[in-house]
């Protein structure tokens, strides 16, 4: 049985609140609620304060919330309004300084909270997210399992891809394979982009049929126990790769290999990004690599830390990051390769399979 880390997570949050001079935090960002309590519903207001934690939800979760939260929080279920119930909970506390998650609370809700409490409302950012950056062994295992599941689905679908299939048909086959293998959901809209559309880093999967000898870029994920895997593979369909395709593919692959081998905890995000970017820029294609190298991965598919040219923050030991260099040429196409990497204290560990040899579906 996996260790229950909710009590230690809440204790760490209370220590962070004390450092910020806060008496409590109202958690409204649902991934943070799940991280602290285990509750997976879509309606939740979690108050964490020195004396305990109170989870406020509605009648839809009257059974689910107590089962999932257990002893991690006192559950308050309101039949009419979670905000009225929150007001009663806040009214029972002595006035102080109440933090709210500025990145997750609307202006309207911030005003509403201010009217419910005698406390001073203080916008704060990323208090829980900073805790989530460092992954426990159970979290790493869930991401590894999600990546394995995703690779199995891809291995099933790739041999069936043919010239003339549409991007949406391929995406549907991949998503079905993911679900059959146990993916709880898709962490983000699956990207299947063919031919010149592969030059769109975040293309929307379309009805375009795949042509012979074209790139097919597949960016997809899986979810296990709430934790996400995020993978990208780029293949050639219906013919052998031509010289330009092969050269660009090998450039991206070399850049990714360098980053995977040399990323270490303690590096600034920009230093990690440079491991791959310098390879691509050194060949004269720096302008074709317009996004950052990677991002943190966990309960959300995009979370801290960042591997980006603008990030001076060090990457902590225990983080899980994507490593996804790419080059994109409008009108011709693009190549991206993405794997998931755990940055343990003893060195990096691939959580995905890292098999990035050029695949030609002929």
pLDDT in tens, 146-172: 999 999 999 999 999 999 999 999 999
Average pLDDT estimate for 59-65: 97
Q: Which residue has the tokens 């962490």?
A: 187
Alpha carbon distance 132, 276 (integer Å): 26
Query: Would you state the pLDDT for residue 346?
Result: 86
In this predicted model, what pLDDT tens digit does every residue of 166-196 receive, in sequence order? Answer: 999 999 999 999 999 999 999 999 999 999 9
Measured CA to CA in angstroms, residue 220 lies from 82, 121, 165, 191, 208 at distances of 35, 40, 18, 6, 18
Percent of the chain with pLDDT over 70: 100
Specify the fold of 134-361.
Answer: Creatine Amidinohydrolase (3.90.230)
Query: Is-contact 76 96, C-beta < 8 A?
Result: no
How confident is the model at residue 217, as a pLDDT?
98
Position 63 confidence tier, pLDDT thresholds 50, 70, 90:
very high
Counting every residue written for the chain, the total comes to 362
Q: What residues does CATH 3.90.230.10 cover in the chain? A: 134-361
Average pLDDT, stretch 5-33?
97
Taking residues 82-99, report their average pLDDT. Answer: 94
| 142-146-149-153 Cα dihedral, nearest 10 degrees | 170
Q: CATH: 3.40.50.300, 3.40.50.720, 3.10.20.740, 3.40.350.10. Which one for 6-132?
A: 3.40.350.10
Write out pLDDT tens, residues 261-303.
999 999 999 999 999 999 999 999 999 999 999 999 999 999 9
**Which H, E and C letters describe 97-114, residue by residue?**
EEEEECCCCCHHHHHHHH
Give the pLDDT score at 2.
77
Q: Is the pTM of this model over 0.85?
A: yes
Listed in order, the ranges of the chain carrying CATH 3.40.350.10 are 6-132
Residue 244 pLDDT exceeds 80: yes
Edge-first strand listing for the sheet containing 52-58: 74-78, 52-58, 45-49, 24-27, 97-101, 120-124
Residue 1 has pLDDT above 70, yes or no: no
pLDDT computed for residue 117 by the predictor: 95
- CA angle 348–276–291, rounded 5-degree value: 110
């Amino acid at each position: 049985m996996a260790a229950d880390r909710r009590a230690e997570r809440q204790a760490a949050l209370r220590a962070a609140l004390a450092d910020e001079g806060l008496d409590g935090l109202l958690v409204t960002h649902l991934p943070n609620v799940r991280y602290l309590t285990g509750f997976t519903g879509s309606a939740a207001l979690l108050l964490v304060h020195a004396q305990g934690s109170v989870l406020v939800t509605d009648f839809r979760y009257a059974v689910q919330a107590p089962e999932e939260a257990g002893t991690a929080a006192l559950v308050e279920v309101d039949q009419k309004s979670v905000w009225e119930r929150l007001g009663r909970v806040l009214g029972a506390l002595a006035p102080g300084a109440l933090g709210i998650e500025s990145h997750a609370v609307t202006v309207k809700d911030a005003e509403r909270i201010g009217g419910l409490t005698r406390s001073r409302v203080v916008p704060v950012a990323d208090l829980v997210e900073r805790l989530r950056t460092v992954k426990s062994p159970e979290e790493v295992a869930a991401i590894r399992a999600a990546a394995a599941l995703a690779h199995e689905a891809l291995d099933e679908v790739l041999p069936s891809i043919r010239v003339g299939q549409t991007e949406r048909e391929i995406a549907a086959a991949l998503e079905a394979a993911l679900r059959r293998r146990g993916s709880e959901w898709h962490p983000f809209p699956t990207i299947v982009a063919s031919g010149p559309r592969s030059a769109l880093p975040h293309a929307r999967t379309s009805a375009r049929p795949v042509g012979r000898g074209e790139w097919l870029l597949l960016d997809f994920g899986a979810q296990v126990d709430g934790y996400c895997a995020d993978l990208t593979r780029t293949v050639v369909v219906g013919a052998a790769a031509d010289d330009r395709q092969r050269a660009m593919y090998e450039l991206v692959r070399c850049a990714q290999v360098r980053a995977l081998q040399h990323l270490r905890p303690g590096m600034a995000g920009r230093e990690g990004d440079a491991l791959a970017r310098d390879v691509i820029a050194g060949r004269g294609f720096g302008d074709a690599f317009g996004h950052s190298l990677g991002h943190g991965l966990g309960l959300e598919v995009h979370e801290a830390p960042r591997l980006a040219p603008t990030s001076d923050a060090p990457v902590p030991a225990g983080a899980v990051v994507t490593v996804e260099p790419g080059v994109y040429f409008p009108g011709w196409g693009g190549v991206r390769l993405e794997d998931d990497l755990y940055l343990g204290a003893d060195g990096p560990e691939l959580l995905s399979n890292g098999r990035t040899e050029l695949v030609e579906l002929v």
